[in-house]
Homo-oligomer: A and B are copies of this chain.
Amino acid sequence: MRNDTKGKEAKAGSKREALVRATIQLVNNSGFHATPMSKIAKLAEVSPGTIYLYFENKQDLINQVYIEVKTAFSAFAFKDYDASLPVAEGFRKIWYNIAAFKLQEVEEAMFLSQCDNTPMMDEPSRQEGLKHLRPLLDLWERGQAEQLIRQVSPFMLYAFSIYPIAFLMNVQQRGLYTITQEHIDHAYTMAWNSIKL
């Protein structure tokens, strides 16, 4: 059912897509430098040479994948979010969105986590990725103006309210811990308690 239809249904761009998916998966399992291009090609059912039709080189490949996943992440994070919401409600919305992403879209989330904690990413792409958080930063600023949020750097707010979710995801991924809806609700409370005034 795959080979026979490949030429037809899998139109333009499908190979690029397959490569992106393969990259995420393999980098998650082995890390960037331990993942050969040939393996990526094989998993994507594509010739090694084909990679270079869509990406300039290995670095460009993860750069592009990173941007793409980061974009998907923020789309997810701000889904149904409205900047006119009250601060507490807005934060709750975003926080639950991010938690949902990290715990459902595990592959993507793990990939981002590795990119963000490793020297494999080059600085320009990292900067590019940061931009996407703008609405959250704006929300926090508003919250601080309204005396609802602690008067500390957004880095600090992020560290204590968002970053912990990544840890929980990692731990669950390694099979050490299983996160239920109740856990998530607890986690939200802890996040909010740490940043609220």
Contacts and interface: CB of A to CB of B under 8 A. Distances in A.
Contacts of A79: none
B155 A177 contact: yes
Contacts of A177: 153, 155
Nearest to A152: B186
Contact of A183 (B152, B187, B195): B152
Contact of A119 (B28, B160, B168, B171): B28
A153 B167 CA distance: 13
Interface in A12-43: 28-34
Interface stretch (A68-76, A90-98, A110-118): A110-118
A159 interface: yes
Contacts of A150: 186, 190
A176 interface: yes
B160 A164 contact: yes
From A119, A160, A183, name the one whose CB has the most chain B CB atoms within 10 angstroms: A160
Contact of A190 (B113, B186, B187, B194): B194
Contacts of A119: 28-31, 34, 114
Contacts of A164: 159-160, 163-164
A159 B163 CA distance: 8
A193 interface: yes
A117 B152 CA distance: 26
A88 interface: no
Contacts of A167: 155, 158-159, 163
A191 interface: yes
Give the 9 A-B residue pairs with the shortest CB-CB distance, closest first. A33-B33, A117-B117, A159-B164, A194-B194, A159-B167, A190-B194, A163-B167, A160-B190, A160-B164
10 contacts: A31-B31, A113-B117, A118-B118, A152-B186, A152-B187, A156-B186, A158-B167, A159-B171, A160-B187, A160-B190
